[in-house]
Structure 1
Amino acid sequence: MKVSNGVATLELNIQGFALHPTLIWDDEEAVLIDSGMPGQLEQIRTAMNDLGVPFEKLKAVIVSHQDIDHIGSLPELLQAATNQINVYAHELDKPYIEGKFPLIKTDPERMNKEEWASLPKEMQLLYTNPPKCNVNQILENGQELPYCGGIQVIHTPGHTPGHVSLYVKKSKTLVAGDAMICVDGSLQGPVQRTTLDMNTALASLEKYLDFDIESVICYHGGVYKDNAKEQIQNLVERVKL
């Protein structure tokens, strides 16, 4: 779904669920934020082509955080690329993405026997052999990346320690990752079941108030445009109660 000129979501479907990576582009280059589950490279290629953005234009991938549904197709993407692609992530999630530590939420050692036994065999295999790749660029809070008119980094920990959101300056678009979700046309806070530190995640939402936001892209739920700044303000006030 096109959000504005040079910003769109790539809807990736898997087992009845939709994931929403973000593509940002201009005449010179393209940037992808998150990469779906393993095996979704061709969906990414097709979605880019449908927008008129050649895969070869991709210069960077920004990883909002370490979860498997955000890094899943990244190794395949890098292998398929014919040019150098920079991979960005926050330093607190970098070692997990690189495979130096097991991904926190899918680490078999953190699950009890009943949880593990309830998983389908293909998920057990994926959890014990998660995707991994090198991160060659570190993200810091307040940093501005020099792509497509400027992309500002907002460190929004809680969902994971190194979770980041991105603010696309030119279109006033907030890419929220999993810090917020969009459900039935409304913005909601992080999902408690999948959030490591809920108090920190809720506190992170206040950082959005410093930005002039016209559109929000949630990885789960897609695009929200209806008085976005006001709705974020209302959400922050609600979670403070």
Structure 2
Amino acid sequence: MKINNFIEMLEISFNIMGNEAVINPTLIRDDSNMILVDAGCPGQLPQIKDAIAKAGISFDKLDKVILTHHDIDHIGSISSILNELPDVKVIAHEKEKSYIDGEECPIKLAQMENNLNLLSPQMKIVYEKLKAGFEKSKVNVDRTLTDGESLPYCGGIKVVFTPGHTLGHICLYLEQYKILIAGDALSVENGMLCQMSSATNFDMKLYIDSLKKLTAYDIETVICYHGGMYDNNVNKAIKELYNKLSNNNYL
């Protein structure tokens, strides 16, 4: 989906435990840079390339990938991208680096390992697939980011450190367009802006604090990795989510 002449929200379908779903990596470009935000699940490079081609853009112009965090549906095809375009630079928050390059076990995989004896046979299969997927997705991070850093691409990209879903999760605020690329900080369900499920968040207190942080930004459009675009009074919707959660005994 074309957001404007410089921002394209990709729509990539996949199957998770028998259910069809769609994820939304985002492509940002200007005269000198083409940046992909998040890299899909393992094996999805052909779909990513097809979505970029349908947008009338050459995949070969890709020169950077920013990873909002290290979950497998966000880093799964990064190694495949680098196999085809080895000069692409991988960028992520400094607290995500060790998970992406394989120095540390991914947080949610480690949680499953700690409870391996309690997992159902079906979840043990999921665990093995996740483990294999993470192993194949390990890549070096070329540049690490810090909170509040402004990247000089595409009219200015501000790094917003939003831990909670993972410890190093980031959102990207495109200052010129008042667009927030939210990663997994938010989702869209049935046309409504929603929190990510508490079951998928590593630390709910950090997550709620991060929602509060987002209320300080003037956001006209938000692009969620799960659910796509939302542009109906975003600032109000985020404040309502924060107020609801902060009054719900999580803090």
TM-score grouping bracket, smaller chain normalisation: over 0.9
Match of 1:213 in 2: 219
Task: Return the TM-score normalized by structure 2.
Answer: 0.90
Amino acid at match of 1:141: D
SS in 2 for 1:138: strand
Partners of 1:151 and 1:167 within 8 A in 2: yes
Partners of 1:145 and 1:151 within 8 A in 2: yes
1:110 and 1:169 mapped to 2: Cα distance? Answer: 41
How far does residue 120 in structure 1 lie from its aligned partner after superposition? 6.6
2:66 is aligned with 1:62: yes
Pick the aligned partner of 1:111 from 115, 125, 140: 115
Amino acid at match of 1:202: I
Match of 1:98 in 2: 101
1:152 and 1:207 mapped to 2: Cα distance? Answer: 13
Amino acid at match of 1:193: A
How far does residue 179 in structure 1 lie from its aligned partner after superposition? 0.9
Partners of 1:3 and 1:215 within 8 A in 2: no
How far does residue 109 in structure 1 lie from its aligned partner after superposition? 2.2
Match of 2:54 in 1: 50
Q: 1:146 to 1:21 in 2, by over 3 A?
A: same
SS in 1 for 2:226: coil
2:205 is aligned with 1:199: yes
Match of 1:81 in 2: 85
Structure 1: gaps of 5 or more residues: none
2:179 is aligned with 1:173: yes
Amino acid at match of 2:150: E
2:212 and 2:153 mapped to 1: Cα distance? Answer: 25
1:115 and 1:224 mapped to 2: Cα distance? Answer: 36
Partners of 1:62 and 1:88 within 8 A in 2: yes
Task: Return the TM-score normalized by structure 1.
Answer: 0.94
Match of 1:226 in 2: 232
1:67 and 1:176 mapped to 2: Cα distance? Answer: 14
Partners of 1:65 and 1:162 within 8 A in 2: yes
Partners of 1:189 and 1:202 within 8 A in 2: no
1:121 and 1:190 mapped to 2: Cα distance? Answer: 24
Amino acid at match of 2:216: D
1:53 and 1:169 mapped to 2: Cα distance? Answer: 23
Pick the aligned partner of 2:192 from 180, 186, 191: 186
Pick the aligned partner of 2:32 from 24, 28, 44: 28
Structure 2: gaps of 5 or more residues: none
1:233 and 1:121 mapped to 2: Cα distance? Answer: 39
How far does residue 27 in structure 1 lie from its aligned partner after superposition? 2.9
Partners of 2:37 and 2:68 within 8 A in 1: yes
The Cα offsets for residues 161-187 of structure 1, whole Å up to 9 and x where unpaired, read as 000000012221101111111111111
Match of 2:3 in 1: 3
SS in 2 for 1:69: helix
Amino acid at match of 1:208: L
SS in 1 for 2:148: coil
2:138 and 2:28 mapped to 1: Cα distance? Answer: 23
2:140 is aligned with 1:134: yes
Question: How many residues end up aligned between the 2 structures?
Answer: 240
2:221 and 2:186 mapped to 1: Cα distance? Answer: 13
- State the Cα RMSD in Å: 1.6
Partners of 2:72 and 2:133 within 8 A in 1: no
Aligned sequence identity (%): 41
Match of 1:13 in 2: 13
1:126 and 1:233 mapped to 2: Cα distance? Answer: 34
Partners of 2:147 and 2:159 within 8 A in 1: yes
How far does residue 112 in structure 1 lie from its aligned partner after superposition? 2.5
How far does residue 141 in structure 1 lie from its aligned partner after superposition? 0.4
